[in-house]
Amino acid sequence: MPFNGKSGKFNASINTVEIGCGEKAIKIGGENVYPFYTFDAPIENAPKIGVMISDLGLENEPAGVKAYYEGCSSFAEIAQKAAAMPGADFVCLKLEGADPNGENKSTEECMTVLKEVVDAIDVPLVVYGCKNVTKDAELLTKAAEVAQGKNVLILAAKEENYKGIGAAAGLAYNQKVGAESAVDINLAKQLNVLISQLGVAPANVVMNVGTAAVGYGFEYVVSTMDRVKAAALSQGDAQLQMPIITPVADEAWSTKEAIASQEDMPEWGDQEARGIGMEVSTAASVLASGSNAVILKHPTSVATISALIKELV
């Protein structure tokens, strides 16, 4: 008796969200199957890769990242080089210098960097905050204004500051809103509901449901993404049908495997290779779990994940 496989194609689908303008704009989401299940239905919008750059420059970056940007003397040149990285689809500017517990840059200083980057590139842009909810409320609201007309994604609105960021990005300046929650399907859904109640259209919302580097409680990330995609597709839950973006670079390059020097841990091998391994394995894992876009920073990681996506979609 012949085996007739059951299709995993669903009637529901993930929302399609467009970021950027013109020919280089990207679309994420839109699929009605589980990640990489192209044998059940075509996946029109392959997962996308972003390259993270920082308003703090290159001083604290791994050697391979510094080498890639060698010769760049301004944020505009760094952004252009990031946009040209083989395998990259968009650029992510992290305004980490605004962190009150770090450099504590003013919003005006950060906006000067943002304006320089916005004017320098023609690829889609993601603007990432400093992870301080109070500072981000001011910072990202102003970023939505400065980048007006560029259809950028503002990461990220949280439960504590979603009103100001969501209203500015999703309503006043017609940008895309990133909804960030902490690896919990109920929190992710609740934040999506709150943002929608502001009047932000679902087609203007992208989720960051949280992540961790592989080996660091990563099973919670996998189970959360699996549950989100299952609820969105098999249950048709419209409040969880937003595509997912995952900032991988920060998590991967802050692990002890990436930080410990070869002198301190000679048995672990080359330090930079370890960081690349953490970044690649984490990115591959979140993509397999349901992420529609990942944010990386090492050229080797970007090239590796780009090749993986091309093979699977």
- Report how far residue 84's alpha carbon sits from residue 22's, in angstroms, rounded to the nearest whole number: 17
pLDDT digits (tens, 9 = 90+) for 62-88: 999 999 999 999 999 999 999 999 999
pLDDT digits (tens, 9 = 90+) for 173-214: 999 999 999 999 999 999 999 999 999 999 999 999 999 999
Angle made by CA atoms 304, 307, 309, in degrees to the nearest 5: 110
* Cα 202 versus chain centre, distance: 18
**pLDDT of residue 11 exceeding 90:** yes
Q: Please state the pTM of the whole predicted model.
A: 0.96
Residue 4 has what pLDDT?
72
Residue 8 has what pLDDT?
78
Mean per-residue pLDDT, 82-98: 98
Residue 87 has what pLDDT?
98
* Percent share of the chain, pLDDT over 90: 96
- Report how far residue 102's alpha carbon sits from residue 25's, in angstroms, rounded to the nearest whole number: 33
The answer to whether 82 and 88 are in contact (CB under 8 A) is: yes
> 233-257 burial, b if ≥16 CB within 10 A, otherwise e?
beeebebbbbbbbbbbbbbbbebeb
pLDDT digits (tens, 9 = 90+) for 108-139: 999 999 999 999 999 999 999 999 999 999 99
Residue 308 has what pLDDT?
98
Handedness of CA 290, 246, 220, 193 (dihedral sign): negative
> 181-193 burial, b if ≥16 CB within 10 A, otherwise e?
bebebebbbebbe
**pLDDT of residue 170 exceeding 90:** yes
**pLDDT of residue 5 exceeding 90:** no
Classify residue 71 by burial, with Cβ atoms within 10 Å: 0-12, 13-18, 19+.
Answer: exposed
Query: What is the DSSP code (8-state) at residue 6?
Result: P
